[in-house]
Amino acid sequence: MKLFWLGTGAVIALVAGQAEAAGITDTVTPLITAKAATATNYSTPWLNQISLPTTTTTGAKGGAGVIIGIVDTGIIASNSEVIGRVSALSSCAAVSFKCSNGVTDDQGHGTAVASIAAGAFTGTTALMSGVASGVTIVSEKSMSAQGTGFDIDIANGITKAADAGATVINLSLTYMPTSNIVKAMNYAASKGAVLVYAGGNESTTLLSGGNTTGLTQATLTHLLIAGSVNSANAKSSFSNTPGTGTATAAATTTTAAKTVSYTSLWLMAPGENIVAPAINYGATALGAWSGTSMAAPVVTGAVALLQKTWPALTRNGTAAAVLLATATDLGAAGADSTYGVGLLNLTKAFSPLGALSAVSPTGTSIALGSSSTATLTSTTLGSLKSLGTALNNYTVFDGYSRNFAANLSTLISKPAGTAVSLSSLTYNPVWTNSLKLAGGGEIEIYRDTLSTLAKDRFDRGAYRLGGAAPQPPINYLAYTTSAGFSVAGGYGLSASSFFDHALWGSQSMGEIGLGGLNALAQGGYSANLGAPISENLRLAAGWSQTPEPDQPLAMQGANARVARSASLGLTAQGAGPIAFGVKVSALDETSGLLGASYGPMSALNFGQGGTSYEAEITTVVDLGAGRSLSFSFADARTPSRDITQGLISHVSDLKSQGYGIALTLPSLAAKGDRLTLSAKQPLQLRSGYVALAQTEVDGEGYNHTTVADTALRSGPMETDMAVSYARMMGKQTYVQADLTWRTNAPQAASDLAVRGVIQKRF
Q: How confident is the model over 121-138, as pLDDT tens digits?
A: 766 556 788 999 999 999
What is the 8-class DSSP label of residue 328?
B
Stated as kind and residue range, the H or E segment containing 406 is strand 403-406
Distance CA 706, CA 692 (A): 8
Q: Name the band, by pLDDT with cuts 50, 70 and 90, for residue 457.
A: very low
Beta strand ranges found along 625-653 (DSSP E):
627-638, 641-642, 648-651
Whether the predicted pLDDT of 535 surpasses 60: yes
Q: What is the pLDDT of residues 294-343, one digit of tens each?
A: 999 999 999 999 999 999 999 999 999 999 999 999 999 999 999 999 99
Considering only residues 611 and 555, tell me which one the structure prediction assigns the higher pLDDT. Answer: 611
Cα separation, 523 vs 546, in Å, equals 5
pLDDT at 292: 94
CA atoms of 744 and 314, how far apart (whole Å) = 49
Rounded CA gap, 5 and 142, in Å? 11
Model pLDDT for residues 66-85, shown as the tens digit of each residue: 999 999 999 999 999 999 99
Share of the chain above pLDDT 70, in %: 83
Residue 453 has pLDDT above 80, yes or no: no
Identify residue 374 by its one-letter amino acid code.
A
Average pLDDT over residues 713-718: 81
Q: Report the pLDDT averaged over residues 252-277.
A: 94
pLDDT at residue 454 is higher than 70: no
Is residue 420 pLDDT above 70, yes or no? Answer: no
Of 524 and 222, the one with more pLDDT: 222
What is the pLDDT at residue 75? Answer: 98
Higher-confidence position of 47 and 459: 47
Whole-model pTM: value is 0.84
Instruction: State the average pLDDT for the chain.
Output: 84
DSSP letter (8 states) at residue 241? B
pLDDT band at 422 (very low <50, low <70, confident <90, very high): very low
- pLDDT attached to residue 264: 98
pLDDT above 50 for 648? yes
DSSP structural state of residue 567: E
pLDDT, greater one: 454 or 81: 81
Question: What's the rounded Cα separation, in Å, for the pair 424 and 502?
Answer: 14
Task: State the pLDDT at residue 417.
Answer: 52
- Quick one: angle between helices 179-190 and 151-163, nearest 10? 10
pLDDT attached to residue 720: 87
Tell me the C-alpha to C-alpha distance, in Å, between residue 120 and each of 55, 58, 114. Answer: 15, 9, 10
Percent helix, percent strand, percent coil in the chain, to nearest 5: 20, 35, 45
**What was the pLDDT predicted at 1?**
60
Mean pLDDT along residues 696-722: 90
Q: Is the pLDDT of residue 32 over 60?
A: no
pLDDT for 498 equals 86
86-116: pLDDT as tens digits: 999 999 999 999 998 999 999 999 999 999 9
Range name among 117-126, 381-390, 463-472, 746-755 with the lowest pLDDT average: 463-472
pLDDT given at position 614? 97
pLDDT in tens, 552-596: 555 455 667 889 999 999 999 877 899 999 999 999 999 899 988
**pLDDT value at 175 more than 80:** yes
Q: Is 50 exceeded by the pLDDT of residue 28?
A: no
Confidence band for 542, pLDDT divided at 50, 70 and 90: very high
